[in-house]
Amino acid sequence: MATWNMFSFQDAVSPIMEQLILFHDHTMMILSMITIMVIYMIMSLTMNKLINRNLLEGQLIELIWTLLPTVLLVTIALPSLKTLYLLEEINKPLITLKAIGHQWYWSYEYSDFKKIEFDSYMKQTNSIDKNEFRLLEVDNRIMIPFDIQSRILVTSHDVIHSWTIPSLGIKIDGSPGRINQGSILTMRPGIFYGQCSEICGANHSFMPITLESININTFNKWIKNSN
């Protein structure tokens, strides 16, 4: 999870988030090169007195400073499009989870199983345990098995919400009367936190998301106990 002194992304838990981090690093490397080059050129122009009053045009240099940005834009656009298509790809999900945003809590439904529906409220500060995080822990966690493709459907009961877990690389808007879908594939067990990322009213900051990634046997036991 994120901490106060973190300058980069959270550790990736899904292949999608790994691709997003790689794309970020790739783009930042190109932007750093451009920034350094521009700063060097500005300093060179301001610190020397060399001028050429007879220079009217230079077709070669104009061709270079047209082609070079084009090549840089292509090197950014290609991995960007690849990641964009990966975000939208859902290949035969085995589990479908539906998240419904309310003011100000989340409710969940496991569409593949009967009668598994619950509300998820933020735990109050006086009821959290020592190993839990204030403003991030909920009374009912989402249970998802790792290494298994899952699908999440997000909608809203009242206003626009946004179901977000940064370590999974997921951010899906929940709009009233509309269902948006996304893919969940966790690579390891653990507890992962998120929050509503769309300002939805007075208690927008108090509707966290807690997802617990477990093995398939534990998930099956949880399903049986929930029925």
Pairing of strands 150-156, 180-184: antiparallel
Do 118 and 212 fall within a single domain?
Answer: yes
Residue 159 DSSP symbol: S
**183 belongs to a structural domain:** yes
Beta strand ranges found along 4-122 (DSSP E) = 95-102, 105-110, 117-120
**100 belongs to a structural domain:** yes
**133 belongs to a structural domain:** yes
Do 103 and 72 fall within a single domain?
Answer: no
Do 123 and 84 fall within a single domain?
Answer: no
**7 belongs to a structural domain:** no
Do 40 and 133 fall within a single domain?
Answer: no
Number of domains in the chain: 2
Residue with tokens 């240099």: 61
Do 81 and 115 fall within a single domain?
Answer: no
Domain boundary among 88, 121, 150: 88
Do 30 and 122 fall within a single domain?
Answer: no
Domain boundary among 88, 107, 142: 88
pLDDT of residue 62: 87
Do 84 and 121 fall within a single domain?
Answer: no
- Helix or strand (DSSP H, E) at 207: none
Do 122 and 38 fall within a single domain?
Answer: no
Strand order of the β-sheet with 180-184 is: 117-120, 105-110, 95-102, 150-156, 180-184
- Residue range of the domain that includes 72: 15-88
**6 belongs to a structural domain:** no
Which residue type sits at 194?
Answer: G
**What are the C-alpha distances in Å from 73 to residues 34, 77, 82, 91?**
12, 6, 14, 30
Residue with tokens 């090549």: 71
Do 100 and 81 fall within a single domain?
Answer: no
Do 74 and 148 fall within a single domain?
Answer: no
Q: What is the pTM of this model?
A: 0.82
Tell which residue, 192, 124, 108, 203, has the closest CA to residue 157: 108
Do 152 and 200 fall within a single domain?
Answer: yes
**215 belongs to a structural domain:** yes
pLDDT of residue 206: 93
pLDDT, one tens digit for every residue, the chain (227 residues): 677 777 888 888 998 999 999 999 999 999 999 999 999 989 988 888 877 777 777 788 889 889 999 999 999 999 999 888 888 878 788 899 999 999 999 999 998 887 889 999 999 888 888 888 888 999 999 999 998 999 999 999 999 999 999 999 999 999 999 999 999 999 999 999 999 999 998 999 999 999 999 999 999 998 888 77
The four Cα atoms 173, 176, 182, 184 give a dihedral, to 10 degrees, of: 90
Which CATH number characterizes residue 179's domain?
2.60.40.420
Do 59 and 121 fall within a single domain?
Answer: no
Helix axes 15-47, 59-88, angle to 10 degrees: 160
